[in-house]
Amino acid sequence: MTVGQAEGVSEAVARKLVDRWETLPRLGELAKDAGFRRFVLKHVDQTLNGDDLKKISANAVKRCPTNLRSLCNELKIQAEAR
């Protein structure tokens, strides 16, 4: 994967987590696969806009379904690490 492709994937992940948070339950289903989960978390990275990272963190805290707390915690940690 080229740098440009990786940045594109990161942007797509951000758009889902910022603009389409309501799709998180589907991500939760897909993220049961540990490799896919790592892939998504890896793309919550420094190439993202700082405001998007703040929104991802806020969504993970304020809008997380109870059954997805683990995933939300990982997203929050990843967003705040950047």
Mean pLDDT (whole number) for 54-78: 97
Q: Is the pLDDT of residue 30 over 90?
A: yes
Question: Distance between CA atoms of 39 and 65, rounded to whole angstroms?
Answer: 21
The answer to whether 35 and 73 are in contact (CB under 8 A) is no
**Host H or E run for residue 75:** helix 69-81
The end-to-end CA distance of the chain, in Å, is 21
Whole-structure pTM value = 0.91
Domain total in the chain:
1
Label residue 82 by pLDDT band (50, 70, 90).
low
Q: Is it the case that residue 4 has pLDDT exceeding 90? A: no
Residue range(s) defining the domain that contains residue 15: 3-81
